[in-house]
Amino acid sequence: MLPSRRQGTRGDRGNTVSKRGVSKHESAKKTQFRLRLHDQNYLGGDELLVNPDFFPDVREGDMVRISVMENEDQNSEKLPESVVLKVSSVKRLPAEISILSVVADIFKLSAQMIVEVEKVPKESALVESVELTLKDQYISSSEMWRLKLFLADSWLHIHKQLAMGLVKVRVKDLRTENESVNGGLVSTETTITFRSKSANLFWLVQISREMWEQAGDGRLHYELLYELIQKIAETWNEADVNHTLTVVFFARVFVGGTGRNDDAQGESKSNSRFFDVFKVVLDKVKSSDFSKDSASILRRIKHEFSVFPSTVNWAPTGGFHDESEKGAHSSEYGTLSSAMEGNTLEALNLTLNNWSDLKMDRAFPYTGTSIILMTAGNGVLKVDKFLAEITRRRLLDTGMDRLQSAVYACFDAASHGI
């Protein structure tokens, strides 16, 4: 039992808080009560219940601030912060005020705490952005828009499960003034962000000469690539995602010599002939398998990476794997291009062909697509201006995350590309 605490004004110093709280007569003067908790099965599982006998001015939908009062057994530094909640229901209860136990746990509130309750305007509880997660379902853009309208004027807390028809989402984060908060009120101006835990992912790994060069910390770029993949596997395991993953290696190979080059696919502005190489390393692997057996999958990626240069008879030192063949086959083999001169846009367009018609063969357990480009370059590309414009238009319908080891990125578009 909590120790009693003196209440009231100078005229009633002898009054104290009883075990059941304050009386109805005292409620008009005082706003301190003993907090009660209830579970999901009590009166429909409303998050905040108030007794109109003790809160005559509070109506359903109003916002109230609940602050824990200090007593002799509590350290003021360990007191929970005040929280603003939306009144879910106004009913005559055995208690003055009662909070859903799940909500109380989030805000570190416990039963029988002495709290001060104050009615506040809705503007004090508004959040600027809400992040929602979804898994194993397909949600269209129209359903996202309807869900945003459905959430207007709703009070949300982290980890809350929401349902609108067959659409089910979970609150992952709420922010106001760039700070994460545990709960808040959603308005029509609140930014709603949807994060899919079951998406179609494409990793495009550019194999260029820079992969065998040192990064800023002294390690080789391909070593950083292995470390990144390992961290992603660990993150997926913790986040319990269910993506499908496809990994593709791509490279541009410049052909040496002046002989006949039947396999060459193009010619650059500097008259250097080249051909493009694409290799599917992983095809629609589930992220659950990837996170559970990341070691074997990483070994497979390492193996494919180590043997990739041999497909064009190129070695990281710049020499041929078989020096005796260099003169006889100089027109057939070449060297890897730099990241800037690579076939990045060609790889992007080939990947975008998978979503050229989203209405065909729709996979309903998945929402969202992502193309992630992993390169050792700095983001500066020499590209054909016409191809760059086509790629830009096609990317409007999808999203792409660019991971790079440099601190800036830009495009150098030329009228006649390399």
Alpha carbon 212 to its chain's center: 31
pLDDT of residue 130: 96
CA nearest to 67, candidates 103, 26, 32, 28: 32
Q: Write out the two tokens for 200.
A: 């179609």
pTM confidence score: 0.74
Would you list the domain boundaries of the chain? 10-124, 126-196, 200-414
Residues 233-290: tens digit of each pLDDT: 888 888 889 999 999 999 999 886 443 444 555 555 555 788 899 999 999 888 888 8
pLDDT of residue 386: 92
Q: Write out the two tokens for 269.
A: 């502005």
Residue 164 identity: M
Please provide the DSSP assignment of 238-296 as one string.
Answer: HHT---EEEEEEEEEEEEPSSS--TT--EE-TTS-EEEEEEEEEEEEEEHHHHHHTHHH
End-to-end CA, the chain: 79
Q: Looking at the domain 200-414, which fold is it?
A: Rossmann fold (3.40.50)
Q: Write out the two tokens for 294.
A: 């990341």
Q: Write out the two tokens for 338.
A: 């730099």
Regions in the chain scoring below 70 on pLDDT: 1-30, 71-79, 256-271, 317-333, 357-361, 398-418
CA nearest to 369, candidates 343, 396, 391, 406: 396
CATH class of 126-196: alpha beta
CATH class of 10-124: mainly beta
Tell whether the torsion through CA atoms of 14, 17, 23 and 28 is positive or negative: positive
Query: CA-CA distances (angstroms) from residue 229 to 110, 262, 291, 292, 373?
Result: 43, 37, 10, 13, 13
CA nearest to 87, candidates 136, 114, 128, 54: 54
